[in-house]
Structure 1
């Protein structure tokens, strides 16, 4: 490490978090989910770790796991070396956050710390996470810990803070059963999404999605669950199938319970009709008084107030796990107990057992802590002891009657010892109840012997049985029972993912996304699409909002109708949350131009290109990146792609882009190019040395006879994406031939309407690069428009978003002035931090500057309200003129234009009745 000058003095606890972000997918820092903290070191920038006495020893004492961190050295202990040599405390906070997550069992090792450019003492601290809330809490506690080690805080109790952190992690963690299924799904590359704060999880995407809640699945029958919950009905069904079950009856009063017990014969068991986890179960009852007392205990745990009285079957307690009709595991359940050592009391033995790190509260760990309640004390007394008694060495004292894991019991794996006849009985019981995943409880002397011969019986059938007694047995080999669950939901060879095409770029994203969606809709696919207009599911707009972010993408992936996804991905969403998914099969990058610079640390166009390249980095080895070869910044993204690159280019033969494409195709690559001829331009698909004609550009409605060059680019990007996604050429051709920029297929994107002889274009253009493309189109069609008196005039209604830089706003005005005779500047409804009128004035400044330089524009006006600006533009236009409206709320604008047309047709406001406007006239006030 390079020595840095110190200003003297002592370090103070100045480390603080300036900004927090959570990336829920691939992002500019990492390929996976990450927490991003921007921290300010303050004076600690002057104090690396080797200048703070005792810092390294103290942090290693509090978090011993840091000794295992390799850091950049790539070997165990690498981070300790960095601490001893001297590293900055932002880097230490990163590793502490990782170590804290490792304490709670989250195997996370991804992290990096980088200085914020231009801000001394500020650092970007990035680290991975499994659970979002745990990751955030780890980052916050790591910063507090570092500050405490720099300058002791008397209010900071490390042991208490660590315990609170562990408990918080346990509250949000999946249970052992859910986690086992998720781990198996991940190992098979099946994506998953947590749908709530508990155990509801979606495996797979779209039409292939399956849901689980603990060990209940999408295939679990609700009727079967109801039957299993009714123990009386369960027993009657099993008995009707000839399966061994105890004699029983359901009762609602204590007198009825006594009567049933006397009828079936003592000893008996009393338990709630619809209980679970062994709560309220009383065994081996020998007298009427025992039955009356047990009835009250069982009724408290019964949701419907009914209680079961059944004959007591003696033997050991076994749980047979049946998945998809087959037995996959058997465990012997031993009730909670302690074994005497001759010196410790029963109470001390319980504390010693609960100190086992495998024991926790409820189902949070593989074993549950033994709870000493009144029932446990009574059970101890029945065996002749008190809690303060000291049993002899080797003497076992039971604290519960049932062997449920939830009451502190242990399990012994007996999977390969079960007799085949017993296995057959358990499988038949699951089929009779109708459960896809069932826990069959046997009571019998020995599971290795047929229960029909030894006198055993099925005492319960459980829906949603816990897995931890099988995956983490106290004694014996663990059984990997999550595999048959995932096999049931996703049989070998079944698909769990839907194809994802993601589109980004400075301009053209929405139109290209709509084109791709239209192509695949024509092929019969149920397409889910996100764009700046909203979320569209199978041609229905389900959410009207700017849906180009990660949350909207996840909404599409959760929809069970969708079998193909097309995502418009904007810069803002990537910077805010990353991608909303793990990877995309096809990434399309149309262009990179200056826009939204100066936001979230993106100050240059090269940095903006890095943001958009996240989509390319999210392409798997069997995926494709569709890149615009004409854009140098997009061209450079090919190095970040793990899959294949499909190029598209509008450049002439002999250009740098075309030469690169030719070399690419000679190596067997794919590309789309424009082949000019006397008849027009032909889009040609190249695959290796083969060339296939796709379509004439001038015959595609969206290109306006080839004049809308930006849409020619969008068409090529869409065609290349569809080709990469496996669409046949004839389907691509048909999709492009039937896609037009009418308002129904492409609202707000180059919609052409005629209002009383005035040609109107409605588009979303909001930045200077987009205005150049739109202006080129206006120039191409402007002179061809018919006009009886003179050349047609062009009126532009323009605006931009408030989060652009001042110079970007002026640049929009400069470009617009080159293409319009009259520029009317309006403002969006959302000003994004600007004052009303400020944006319009900056744009107008650019127009005036261009006018002084000889631009086409002769007049600029400011009308802030969008509808007022549209009305003013239409009132100024003559027949044959061209009005271009750059919209914010396209539906309101189109409704206004329709009203304008209807009023004229009704005779109330026709152009013949209006005075002819002169757009070249400059009023004296404009000067």
Structure 2
């Protein structure tokens, strides 16, 4: 694509070669930040920094313009560009590209470091921060491919690429690389609810670890360990969650408790739905018994044909269908986390301008940068489907209709954010009766965290006077509408969750004692564990001959690395962790913990040299010092 001239006489270079790839999952020799590490051999390219590659910098900035904002060692925007113009090496360039590619994909990372490897000329450890290690590795791969792609023809060729997972691209193009990165980030990134709780945990110095790619997160260590998946926590009762998923059972329990909830009937055929609707009185609401996110829910069904259609829509999402009375009023979500928060939800809608069609208005609305796919963004894109087309037809519209200027057109019957709705915070407006009703509902169902769907003509007045009440109770409610309301104040819902899991003054960690050194580590570790056990503590211990919980060996072998340490820190019975910490795991992936209460270095001698670039006592001392 670019004709990059090179200096005459330059011989074909040894290819870039990836010698090793690793992931630091905790504090390490180079940083307290978790990082991807790529050991890169530049070969003869070591002789050609960026200022000796004419046109390279301009071509790179055209592909990744965000690099202009990188401060690098200058600490201000433009610093990296200045470094490249002065002359820096391609490993350093790849570090910054990997960081920027992750940010473009949607991650929030900034830190990087590239260091030469002792006694290995032209070999560098290229390191950069990541949020998710799979995305970080993929960004590293694409960063190297881009650097290689922009080199002069006789310098191109990324050998040793089999050291990283194979590239998903048959041939490198920037647009395709970004598409793959964004898709990967969308698939594995935390949703807004989980992300808010994790950020709050970090702010409170509560340790956390992701356990899978479906938002299961472990908080704390040892006997203080808790788990969350989105807004479901270790305190969430499985029975309560099952009750909440059964809308008919939930409604019956609420009515028995004297709470305002609509009467309804479970049906299994369209004929039964029509009969139930006539008995309850039209219009009615039809919904799946065990649905979620507003899928298959339709309101205002006021004729036999509409009821039959609503039944088919609901049955597509559940084998059982609920026909119930319709409350009149605005749709509100009251979030209960040991208290209450309220937000008014507004169904997906567009405002006419007298010039363009409803379909064009929807497309314009979806261009709002706050809207994304699924639950990844503050708002969700509006999908044009059968339900939307049917709903606007009830108001006399089609997708090609041109609404008059200023006229709102409601697109869907439900106000869920997941179907394109918006939210208005009204926490400070909710009437005490309405708040009490919502709190009682969560308690009756048994949920620690609950989303109460509440219909009220005016949330500032009691539904006991105005009519309305609870239409659903949800386990694992999403926090988006409270974190990113379209109007009103953002609420610290994640803080409320952590206050529930770890009340003020409650610890989240057990004491961690880490022992390292050249000789005497195992003896010192065992002595410490013995002393603490004699004091009545339940001790989790790692050592060179196994992992021990309360004096019993549960794993055999050399267990002095981070994997074994994570076993102990994730043991919910221990009062204290005593961890023998050897150099191998430290060099491979760093520490398993972000801080220890006591760090011990027994001694540093020349017994253990030659591993992973550690060639001197000084090198070894630097590795051991990570613990303290």
> TM-score range, shorter-chain basis?
over 0.9
1:231: which partner in 2? 247
1:425–1:556 Cα change, 3 Å: same
TM-score, length of structure 2 as denominator length: 0.93
**Structure 1 residue 29 and structure 2 residue 30: aligned?**
yes
2:360: which partner in 1? 348
1:185: which partner in 2? 201
In structure 1, what is the Cα distance between the partners aligned to 2:189 and 2:31? 23
1:269: which partner in 2? 285
1:283: which partner in 2? 299
Question: Cα deviation per residue 1:745-782 (whole Å; 9 max; x = unaligned)?
Answer: xxxxxxxxxxxxxxxxxxxxxxxxxxxxxxxxxxxxxx
1:577: which partner in 2? 589
Shift in Å, 1:605: 2.4
In structure 1, what is the Cα distance between the partners aligned to 2:609 and 2:539? 33
**Structure 1 residue 471 and structure 2 residue 483: aligned?**
yes
1:607: which partner in 2? 619
In structure 2, what is the Cα distance between the partners aligned to 1:149 and 1:478? 45
1:491: which partner in 2? 503
Match of 1:258 among 247, 270, 274: 274
**Structure 1 residue 314 and structure 2 residue 328: aligned?**
yes
Q: Please say which of residues 424-433 and 44-53 is displaced more in the overlay.
A: 44-53
Match of 2:345 among 314, 333, 336: 333
1:95–1:13 Cα change, 3 Å: farther
Shift in Å, 1:563: 1.4
**Structure 1 residue 386 and structure 2 residue 398: aligned?**
yes
1:138: which partner in 2? 139
Shift in Å, 1:12: 7.1
2:163: which partner in 1? none
SS at 2:76's partner residue? coil
Shift in Å, 1:322: 0.6
In structure 1, what is the Cα distance between the partners aligned to 2:294 and 2:366? 20
1:160: which partner in 2? 176
Shift in Å, 1:11: 8.4
Write the mapping of 1:386-785 to structure 2, written as runs, cut at 5 A: 386-616=398-628
In structure 2, what is the Cα distance between the partners aligned to 1:287 and 1:493? 58
2:129: which partner in 1? 128
Shift in Å, 1:151: 4.0
- How large is the Cα RMSD of the aligned pairs? 1.9
CA contact (8 A) 1:13 1:147 kept: no
Shift in Å, 1:363: 1.0
In structure 2, what is the Cα distance between the partners aligned to 1:352 and 1:532? 62
1:278–1:13 Cα change, 3 Å: farther
In structure 1, what is the Cα distance between the partners aligned to 2:136 and 2:294? 35
CA contact (8 A) 1:90 1:123 kept: yes
Shift in Å, 1:13: 9.8
2:260: which partner in 1? 244
CA contact (8 A) 1:6 1:47 kept: no
SS at 1:124's partner residue? strand
CA contact (8 A) 2:352 2:405 kept: yes
Higher relative contact order (CA 8 A, sep 6+): 2
CA contact (8 A) 1:13 1:148 kept: no
1:361: which partner in 2? 373
SS at 2:428's partner residue? coil
1:12–1:171 Cα change, 3 Å: farther
Question: Cα deviation per residue 1:629-674 (whole Å; 9 max; x = unaligned)?
Answer: xxxxxxxxxxxxxxxxxxxxxxxxxxxxxxxxxxxxxxxxxxxxxx
Shift in Å, 1:100: 1.8
SS at 1:541's partner residue? strand
In structure 2, what is the Cα distance between the partners aligned to 1:126 and 1:209? 31
Question: Cα deviation per residue 1:84-122 (whole Å; 9 max; x = unaligned)?
Answer: 212111111111111122223433222111222333322
1:61: which partner in 2? 62
SS at 2:429's partner residue? coil
1:323: which partner in 2? 337
2:21: which partner in 1? 20
* Structure exhibiting the larger radius of gyration computed from Cα positions: 1
Match of 2:309 among 266, 269, 293: 293
SS at 1:579's partner residue? coil
Shift in Å, 1:212: 0.6
1:93: which partner in 2? 94
**Structure 1 residue 371 and structure 2 residue 383: aligned?**
yes
CA contact (8 A) 2:106 2:182 kept: no
CA contact (8 A) 1:258 1:292 kept: yes
2:186: which partner in 1? 170
SS at 2:67's partner residue? helix
Shift in Å, 1:215: 0.3
TM-score, length of structure 1 as denominator length: 0.64
1:526–1:116 Cα change, 3 Å: same
Shift in Å, 1:545: 2.4
1:766: which partner in 2? none
CA contact (8 A) 2:334 2:451 kept: yes
In structure 1, what is the Cα distance between the partners aligned to 2:607 and 2:615? 10
CA contact (8 A) 1:268 1:310 kept: yes
- Structure 1 segments, 4+ long, off by >6 Å, are 10-13
Q: Which consecutive unaligned segments of at least 5 residues does structure 2 have?
A: 1-5, 157-169
CA contact (8 A) 2:106 2:185 kept: no
CA contact (8 A) 2:102 2:181 kept: no
SS at 1:581's partner residue? coil
Question: Cα deviation per residue 1:704-757 (whole Å; 9 max; x = unaligned)?
Answer: xxxxxxxxxxxxxxxxxxxxxxxxxxxxxxxxxxxxxxxxxxxxxxxxxxxxxx
Shift in Å, 1:529: 0.5
Shift in Å, 1:293: 2.4
Q: Please say which of residues 313-322 and 238-247 is displaced more in the overlay.
A: 238-247
CA contact (8 A) 2:107 2:185 kept: no
Question: Cα deviation per residue 1:584-605 (whole Å; 9 max; x = unaligned)?
Answer: 1111111222234222111222
Q: Which consecutive unaligned segments of at least 5 residues does structure 1 have?
A: 617-927
Shift in Å, 1:485: 0.6
Question: Cα deviation per residue 1:33-85 (whole Å; 9 max; x = unaligned)?
Answer: 11111112233223222232333233233333322222112233221211221
Shift in Å, 1:465: 0.5
SS at 1:234's partner residue? helix
In structure 1, what is the Cα distance between the partners aligned to 2:512 and 2:23? 23
2:166: which partner in 1? none
1:220: which partner in 2? 236
In structure 2, what is the Cα distance between the partners aligned to 1:283 and 1:550? 54
Question: Cα deviation per residue 1:248-295 (whole Å; 9 max; x = unaligned)?
Answer: 122223332222211111111111111111111121111223222222
